[in-house]
């Protein structure tokens, strides 16, 4: 980095918030994906004014700027592909206000998701999106990716809860979008455009989030199915039952087989398992909802049904689902974790199609995910030290995304496009919609300094 630029940045943020040491440049070259690329420096922004001055300078000097929260993104979202500045927002971590009467909270982007939940709990309120990385990821990152989670089928994703934003644009100007009302039909919905934009359109410096009363009760059950088709039918019929479960997780035969091989969990050898949870404000309500779901299971040739009678039993039922992330590392040295989403009625078609792809390229694929909203997380297992397996992996990734899009699905339900899915954007979005996306990027960031090289915005 040129000395004059370094001095100008130091002048804006001070030496305590700037580093071009190798150790920091290496640390900021990664996120939680397999991609990496080294920035020229890392900067910790501590105020909107600072962020504005950094972007004004970067825009003038055409230096790439990559906003970053906790770096837990799974698609290379915060990896500084073109070098430049990684702008870490974690020091902007104040919860500015919580207003139960207005049903909202106002936060800085670096607030850790779990800290916000902890602050809402005494009010018996919560922020419903529930990324599994919640203990470390930031609310700014959740906005950047439109994060979801297990409960998205019932509660939606981050975009359903962002009421307003303060955003610093590429030229350093500060924009305020949305507001503090529960609804608004005023002008273009720029707030929603910003959510999920992966740091390519602006740097979010303040977020106004809708919050909800916390359900006090849950009921949990698990069911097995000898045939995948019966599990798929159950998912479809549940949607007709009048109940939207807060959790509806599908675990496939390969994942069950992994548990049988590598753990002492006593699972039967079946083609599918479904874990279901209902939530509400009284025991009677959650049990009534669970009764409806179990009746559906019984109509679908279910094998075993286990219904938790205590918190400990519920935790035991959750164990398999919660252990998957840790256990996959025992199967192969590497895995490619995908995030496609298909219409719920096409889940079985997708899984059967994927099985064919897996056999065609002789790579094991474990499937689990949020059947309640069609968001599946196929994990392609491979050994990265074997070039032949890497070539086959690329073929599987392409065909998997083609399959999802052919079934009317999307490339990503919650993890975002970033680097790893950029090459597939044309499979989902038609030419006109890609052109509109690129025009929006050009209008807001004409010099392409914000997180360049992501989301196929440059083609």
Ligand X SMILES: Cc1cc2nc3c(=O)[nH]c(=O)nc-3n(C[C@H](O)[C@H](O)[C@H](O)COP(=O)(O)OP(=O)(O)OC[C@H]3O[C@@H](n4cnc5c(N)ncnc54)[C@H](O)[C@@H]3O)c2cc1C
Positions that interact with ligand X (CB under 6 A): 31-32, 66-74, 77-78, 89, 109, 131-133, 137-138, 140-142, 144-145, 147-149, 198-199, 203-204, 325, 414-415, 451
Which of 113/382 has CB closer to ligand X? 113
Which of 353/378 has CB closer to ligand X? 378
99 is written with which tokens? 């207003």
At how many degrees (to 10) do helices 347-361 and 387-406 cross?
160
The count of C-alpha atoms lying within 13 angstroms of the C-alpha of 175, restricted to the half-sphere facing its C-beta, is: 16
Tell me whether residue 330 is exposed, middle or buried, using C-beta atoms within 10 angstroms of its C-beta: 0 to 12, 13 to 18, 19 or more. exposed
Task: Find the shortest distance in angstroms from Cβ 243 to ligand X.
Answer: 22
- Give the ranges where 18-151 is alpha helix by DSSP (H): 22-27, 48-61, 113-120, 139-145
Task: Find the shortest distance in angstroms from Cβ 109 to ligand X.
Answer: 4
Which of 110/353 has CB closer to ligand X? 110
Residue 448 Rama label (left phi>0; alpha psi -120 to 50; beta): left
Which of 203/258 has CB closer to ligand X? 203
E-strand stretches of 39-173:
41-44, 65-68, 85-88, 95-99, 104-107, 125-126, 162-168
Three-state secondary-structure class, residue 253 = helix
Which of 109/353 has CB closer to ligand X? 109
Backbone angles phi, psi at 447, to 5 degrees: -95, 5
Cβ–Cβ under 8 Å, residues 270 and 253: yes
Which of 53/233 has CB closer to ligand X? 53
Q: Which residues, 6+ apart, have CB-to-CB distance to 164 below 8 Å?
A: 176, 177, 178, 179, 180, 191, 207, 208
Backbone angles phi, psi at 266, to 5 degrees: -85, 85
Task: Find the shortest distance in angstroms from Cβ 380 to ligand X.
Answer: 17
Task: Find the shortest distance in angstroms from Cβ 294 to ligand X.
Answer: 26
CA dihedral 39, 41, 45, 50 (to 10 degrees): -110
């Amino acid at each position: 980095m040129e000395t004059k630029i370094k001095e100008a940045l130091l002048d804006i943020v001070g030496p305590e918030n700037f580093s071009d040491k190798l150790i920091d440049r290496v640390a900021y070259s990664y996120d939680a994906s397999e991609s990496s690329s080294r920035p020229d420096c890392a900067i910790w922004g501590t105020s909107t004014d600072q962020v504005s001055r950094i972007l004004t300078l970067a825009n003038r000097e055409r230096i790439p700027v990559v906003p970053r929260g906790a770096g837990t993104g799974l698609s290379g979202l915060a990896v500084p592909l073109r070098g430049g500045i990684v702008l870490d927002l974690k020091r902007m971590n104040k919860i500015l206000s919580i207003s139960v009467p207005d049903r909202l909270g106002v936060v800085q982007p670096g607030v850790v998701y779990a800290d916000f939940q902890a602050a809402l709990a005494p009010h018996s309120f919560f922020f419903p999106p529930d990324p599994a990385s919640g203990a470390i990821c930031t609310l700014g990152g959740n906005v950047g990716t439109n994060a979801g989670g297990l409960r998205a089928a019932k509660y939606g994703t981050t975009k359903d809860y962002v009421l307003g934003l303060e955003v610093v644009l590429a030229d350093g100007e500060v924009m305020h979008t949305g507001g503090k009302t529960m609804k608004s039909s005023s002008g273009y919905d720029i707030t929603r455009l910003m959510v999920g934009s992966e740091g390519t359109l602006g740097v979010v410096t303040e977020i106004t989030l809708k919050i909800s009363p916390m359900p006090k009760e849950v009921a949990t059950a698990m069911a097995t199915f000898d045939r995948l088709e019966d599990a798929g039918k159950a998912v479809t019929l549940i949607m007709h039952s009048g109940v939207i479960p807060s959790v509806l997780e599908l675990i496939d035969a390969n994942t069950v087989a992994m548990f049988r091989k590598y753990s002492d969990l006593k699972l039967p050898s079946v083609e599918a398992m479904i874990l279901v949870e209902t939530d509400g404000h009284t025991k009677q309500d959650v049990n009534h909802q669970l009764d409806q779901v179990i009746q559906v299971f019984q109509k679908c040739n279910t094998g075993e049904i286990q219904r938790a009678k205590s918190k400990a039993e519920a935790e035991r039922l959750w164990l398999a689902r919660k252990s998957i992330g840790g256990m996959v590392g025992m199967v192969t040295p590497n895995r490619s974790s995908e995030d496609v989403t298909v219409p719920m009625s096409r889940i079985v078609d997708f899984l059967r199609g994927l099985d064919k792809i897996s056999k065609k390229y002789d790579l094991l694929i474990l499937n689990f995910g949020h059947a309640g909203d069609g968001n599946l997380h196929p994990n392609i297992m491979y050994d990265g030290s074997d070039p032949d397996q890497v070539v086959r992996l690329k073929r599987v990734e392409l065909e998997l995304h083609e399959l999802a899009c052919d079934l009317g699905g999307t490339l990503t339900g919650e993890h975002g496009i970033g680097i790893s899915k950029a090459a597939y954007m044309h499979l989902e979005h038609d030419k006109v919609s890609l052109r509109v996306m690129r025009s929006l990027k050009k209008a807001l960031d004409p010099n392409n300094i914000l997180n360049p090289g992501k989301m196929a915005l440059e083609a």
